[in-house]
């Protein structure tokens, strides 16, 4: 049956989504593609190349996703491959709204506007990718299921916390200096 919820979770499920039709996913790696297909990335789906997967309800994430929250995952730059379209990425940075005072640089596809990843000046060696750009939709529910939901204090009242996901009132990463690996 062709639906996201009824898909066989034991193998990749790549429904018709956007302009690309060449994503891939295997035991260790998967692709993420922008809506028009011009930009494609490859990343590891487990540690050490996958640092964390999280949901963020902060006020910036509403604006930047044009939605109510963002779903992200963190990959060290050493483990991130630009398959195509790196030259098609535009950047926008600012530090005005970032509580830690760091500046966040956003990398967008200049053709379709999809935000592919963000990089913090506090952690320039890692990129924060977007779960929704991952081509194998089954990974959203399996290996890339979020582990943390942060800025719960800013979540809209008509949404409830993600099931089985650690709930954190504010910034999980900046508040826990002992978790250096995942700090943004």
Nearest to 43 by CA among 33, 54, 53, 30: 30
Residue 174 interacting with Zn ion (CB under 5 A): no
Q: CA–CA separation, 115 vs 128, rounded Å?
A: 10
Nearest to 184 by CA among 129, 111, 110, 107: 129
Residue 148 interacting with Zn ion (CB under 5 A): no
Of the candidate spans 28-36, 47-55, 75-83, 98-106, the one that interacts with Zn ion by CB under 5 A turns out to be 28-36
Q: Contact, 27 vs 121, CB < 8 A? A: no
Residue 112 interacting with Zn ion (CB under 5 A): yes
Q: CA–CA separation, 66 vs 68, rounded Å?
A: 7
Strand order in the sheet with 148-150: 89-94, 104-109, 115-120, 126-130, 70-76, 52-56, 148-150, 166-167
Residue 109 interacting with Zn ion (CB under 5 A): yes
**Binding to Zn ion (CB under 5 A): which residues in 37-96?**
38, 56, 58, 61
CB of 38 to Zn ion, least distance (A): 4
Nearer to Zn ion, 7 or 120 (CB): 120
Nearer to Zn ion, 7 or 162 (CB): 162
CB of 173 to Zn ion, least distance (A): 10
CB of 36 to Zn ion, least distance (A): 3
CB of 56 to Zn ion, least distance (A): 3
CA 53, 95, 91, 120: dihedral to nearest 10 degrees?
A: -40
Of positions 30, 34, 162, 174, contacts Zn ion by CB under 5 A:
34
Which parts of this chain interact with Zn ion (CB under 5 A)? 34, 36, 38, 56, 58, 61, 109, 111-112
């Amino acid at each position: 049956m062709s639906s996201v919820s009824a898909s066989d979770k034991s193998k990749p499920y790549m429904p018709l989504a956007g302009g690309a039709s060449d994503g891939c996913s295997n035991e260790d790696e998967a692709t993420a593609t922008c809506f028009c297909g011009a930009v494609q990335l490859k990343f590891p789906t487990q540690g050490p190349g996958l640092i964390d997967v999280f949901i963020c309800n902060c006020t910036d994430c509403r604006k930047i996703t044009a939605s109510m929250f963002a779903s992200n995952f963190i990959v060290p730059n050493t483990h991130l491959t630009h398959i195509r379209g790196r030259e098609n990425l535009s950047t926008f940075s600012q530090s005005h709204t970032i509580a830690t005072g760091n500046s966040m640089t956003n990398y967008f596809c200049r053709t379709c506007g999809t935000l592919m990843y963000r990089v913090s000046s506090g952690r320039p060696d890692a990129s924060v990718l977007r779960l929704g750009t991952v081509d194998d939709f089954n990974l959203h529910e399996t290996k890339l299921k979020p582990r943390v939901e942060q800025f719960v204090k800013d979540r809209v009242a008509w949404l409830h916390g993600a099931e089985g996901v650690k709930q954190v009132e504010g910034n999980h990463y900046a508040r826990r200096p002992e978790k250096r690996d995942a700090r943004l």
